[in-house]
Amino acid sequence: MSQLCVEDPLGTAKVCAALVAELEQMGYSVQVGADAQKFNATKIDTLHKPVSPFFDADVCNFTPERFFWMSVIAANGATVALQAFRYDYTDTSLADWGPNLTIGLAMRRQELMVPTNAAPPRNSIAERIRGKLVYHGEFWIDQHVRNRKLAEKFSRLGLILSLIKWNPDAVWSLSSSRMATHGHLNRMGYNYIEKGFLRWQWATDGIDLTEWLNIAERHAIEQMINEMITSPVPA
């Protein structure tokens, strides 16, 4: 059964404020919005490529209640980081629902995704993940950013905001092997990483043929918040 509220609302608010302050001390400002069309335009302007089907306003029909996006702006006004979050509810497991969602959204955009396997690996954590779920995607940090802490703080801030907004059972994302095997995702706030959740025989440009599943369960996000309260990490 889904938990009704955040365990420590005051501590959660303090950690959010601290993360924003740390990013500001690094010389950045953080912006949050719920306009999917604006996010689509921002990504095209910044990266010169469209958003993934998960966040395409033309196929997802988002409302502000189900979506938000974030950007980091440098002192010179340039966008140096992006990420987005979408809320869904499923009474079936992520193992059953996630691949169908991925393929279905691609089809709405007339993109072909052909899976190698009909289902994720046996005993995947996705078999027990269901309910209120948040997908975290479009994560990007400008390659010229020198401070490696930006990715960690930006991602954690997004995970915590998704906890405040939706109190989900879990946040999930998909990543490449390179991203998953360099320790980035653990530092970004994910407590579970699984190889080969999705394996593609054919995928659209920019998608790895083997995608890793990353999970941040609610209890793990709240544990991360508690650790940041009791043992704050220097900026």
The pLDDT of residue 147: 86
Q: Is residue 235 part of a domain?
A: no
Instruction: Give the model's confidence band at 23: pLDDT under 50 very low, under 70 low, under 90 confident, else very high.
Output: very high
What is the domain-level CATH number for residue 123? 3.40.630.30
Walk across the sheet containing 29-33 and list its strands.
29-33, 67-73, 79-90, 131-141, 170-175, 210-217, 192-202, 114-115
Alpha-carbon gap, residue 138 to 119, rounded angstroms: 24
Phi, psi for 51 (deg, rounded to 5): -70, 165
Q: Is residue 225 part of a domain?
A: yes
| For residues 63-80, average pLDDT | 96
Length of the chain as a residue count = 235
The pLDDT of residue 233: 57
13-16, long-range: CB < 8 A, 24+ apart: 13/164, 14/229, 15/160, 15/225, 15/228, 15/229, 16/157, 16/160, 16/161, 16/164
User: Is the predicted pLDDT of residue 234 greater than 70, yes or no?
Assistant: no
CA geometry: angle 100, 50, 73, nearest 5 deg:
115
Residue with tokens 């996006």: 69
Between residues 6 and 140, which one has the greater pLDDT? Answer: 140
Computed over every residue of the chain, the mean pLDDT equals 92
Q: Is residue 1 part of a domain?
A: no
| For residues 183-209, average pLDDT | 88
Q: Is residue 190 part of a domain?
A: yes
Residue with tokens 């980091």: 72
Q: Is residue 4 part of a domain?
A: no
The pLDDT of residue 199: 86
- What's the helix, strand, coil split of the chain in %, to 5? 40, 25, 30
Distances (CA, A) of 123 to 44, 46, 57, 213: 38, 39, 34, 13
Residue ranges of E strands in 93-225: 114-115, 131-141, 170-175, 192-202, 210-217
Q: Is residue 134 part of a domain?
A: yes
- 68-87 burial: b if 16+ Cβ within 10 Å, else e: bbbbbebeeeebbbbbbbbb
Domain interval for residue 125: 9-230
Q: Which of 207, 179, 206 is nearest to 195 (CA)?
A: 179
Q: Is residue 85 part of a domain?
A: yes
Q: Is residue 154 part of a domain?
A: yes
pLDDT digits (tens, 9 = 90+) for 122-150: 899 999 999 999 999 999 999 999 888 99
H helices of 56-148, in order, are 57-60, 94-108
Residue 182 token pair: 């360099």
Q: How many domains, the chain?
A: 1
